[in-house]
Amino acid sequence: MDSMNLWGRTSDVIVVGLGNSTLDDVVKQVATSQNRVVTPDAEPEKGYFYRSDHFEFAKKGVPALHPEMGGIDFVGRAAGYGLQKRDEYTAKDYHKVSDEIKPDWDLGGVIEDVQLLFQVGFRVANGERLPEWKPGTEFKAVRDEMLKSAGRQ
């Protein structure tokens, strides 16, 4: 978790790189139990998947989950509110000294997202299989070779 949703509950969960690994399937199961939907990156043109911290894992063949600050469809808010708040935060506070607690923060979204991520981690930790890259993803061959070398395939 790099940053969290600070403006309330959302009906969606954005996963950067959605569709690449079986971790997405686990996120979808947990999100459904929260009456939420999983959606892909709202701004793929910005290349968040290839610029994120988890990309170093991907290059070595290890699937990692990258949720993007919860979602953008805020419960009880007009369409566009989520992207507006995210853009404001990036422009005014992200990696700046002004990045401090604000009076308009609603941590209900953080709580829901942390519960989701805990459940994902719990299910993966207790699952019978390690997370895998889905067929056709660019990192699957690296993972398959790593597992083969380790005698796990």
For the chain, which residues make up each domain, given as ranges?
A: 12-149
**35 or 5, which is more confident?**
35
| Confidence category of residue 152, pLDDT binned at 50, 70, 90 | low
* pLDDT at residue 48 greater than cutoff 90: no
Cα–Cα distance, 133 to 143 (Å, whole number): 8
**What is the model's pLDDT at position 42?**
80
User: Mind listing the pLDDT tens digit for each residue in 60-108?
Assistant: 999 999 888 779 999 999 999 999 998 999 899 989 999 999 998 999 9
* pLDDT at residue 129 greater than cutoff 70: yes
Mean pLDDT for all residues in the chain: 91
Distances (CA, A) of 122 to 39, 68, 71, 73, 115: 22, 20, 21, 26, 10
Cα–Cα distance, 17 to 41 (Å, whole number): 7
**What is the model's pLDDT at position 146?**
80
* pLDDT at residue 140 greater than cutoff 70: yes
Token pair 């990156």 is at which residue? 41
- CA angle, 72 then 94 then 16, to 5°: 40
Stated pTM of the model: 0.88
Cα–Cα distance, 38 to 61 (Å, whole number): 23
- The average pLDDT across 2-22 equals 91
- The average pLDDT across 31-41 equals 96
